[in-house]
Amino acid sequence: MAPTRKFFVGDNWKMNGRKKCLGELICTLNAANMPAGTEVVCAPPTAYIDFARQKLDPKIAVAAQNCYKVTNGAFTGEIKRHVFGESDELIGQKVNHALAEGLGVIACIGEKLDEREASITEKVVFEQTKVIADNVKDWSKVVLTYEPMWAIGTGKTATPQQAQEVHEKLRGWLKSNVNDGVAQSTWIIYGGSVTGATCKELASQPDVDGFLVGGASLKPEFVDIINAKQ
């Protein structure tokens, strides 16, 4: 029998908010009804990680949005995305470093719009997943996020069918290239303009194990997204 995967919802506040409004948002989250079977993780702006950890209810985990591949050195430590030209290899090195330091990792993969239009989504996400997998020994500390870049901050969302198709193929890749146990137990969550209006149908897909939420995580509707499986 396949392991039961808890529902997982991460909120990435990105470079948004100041202490006052984030404090109000934290109060809303602390007071929210959160299903016992749902894992909730908040990723505040880097400057507010300690503030968020002090204020959030202990049942809500806190994450950094990014890291570099080494422990220390003469590196500025920007919060980066593909627009900064990061290679798949560098992402793999970051995953390796974070896991070696005892952290869990939410690793994001996804195609750009021109890649989807060229029908190479599968090729792109498999290549990205392989570089991550090559750097993972303990899959219990890894969450894979399918985050199509054409749906980040655009208001566009993959249809539930599009999301399920990619998630199912990713789980198949893990079965073929890692093992069946990892394929069945690893969270594969969706990110890309998830909202209170779209979350329930997305959450109903068999291989969508949760969400990584951007803009909507700054709004009261985030509580509805946390409860999408209810």
Just list the catalytic residues: 147
d(C-alpha 157, C-alpha 162), whole Å: 9
Q: What is the arrangement of strands in the sheet containing 38-43, beginning at the earlier edge strand?
A: 61-62, 38-43, 7-12, 210-213, 187-191, 142-146, 105-109
List the beta strands (DSSP E) in 71-159.
Answer: 105-109, 142-146
| Sign of the CA dihedral running 168, 170, 173, 178 | negative
151, 157 Cβ separation under 8 angstroms = yes
CA distance linking residue 143 with residue 189, whole number of Å:
7
Q: Are strands 38-43 and 210-213 parallel, antiparallel or unpaired?
A: unpaired
Distance, in Å, from the CA atom of 23 to the CA atom of 1, rounded to the nearest integer, reads 43
Residue with tokens 């399918």: 146
